[in-house]
Amino acid sequence: MINYYLKIVYNFFKPIYLLILFYVGWIFLHYFSAQLYISYCTPQTIWGFIASPFLSVAPHCNGLRWIIYESGTILYGMWTSLAAWIVTNLLTYKYD
């Protein structure tokens, strides 16, 4: 009986496996880039406050900001696509 349900779950996720990995990768990048940006580009000290105008234009901070921005855009698209998919499937579901 359990194998039957596992097979259903497996068959559901098999076509979207790469899509799930794609979004999990962007979620990972977004989270860790934000954490690294706080640590390296805006330290929580007086010295960090004084150095932040210089650090904010550093190449590593620009790269981290780009990753944060782009990943946010991609995650916004993920939620929009998921909402559209849910609405489409709920509105076109055929009740037996």
Write down the pTM of the prediction: 0.77
Q: Provide the residue type at 1 as one letter.
A: M
Q: How confident is the model at residue 96 (pLDDT cuts 50, 70, 90)?
A: low
Tokens 């962007």 map to which residue?
26
* Beta-carbon count within 10 A of 43 CB: 15
Distance from C-alpha of 36 to C-alpha of 62, rounded to nearest angstrom: 12
At 67, the amino acid letter reads I
Q: Average pLDDT in the 3-18 region?
A: 82
Please measure the distance between the N-terminal and C-terminal CA atoms of the chain and give it in whole angstroms: 23
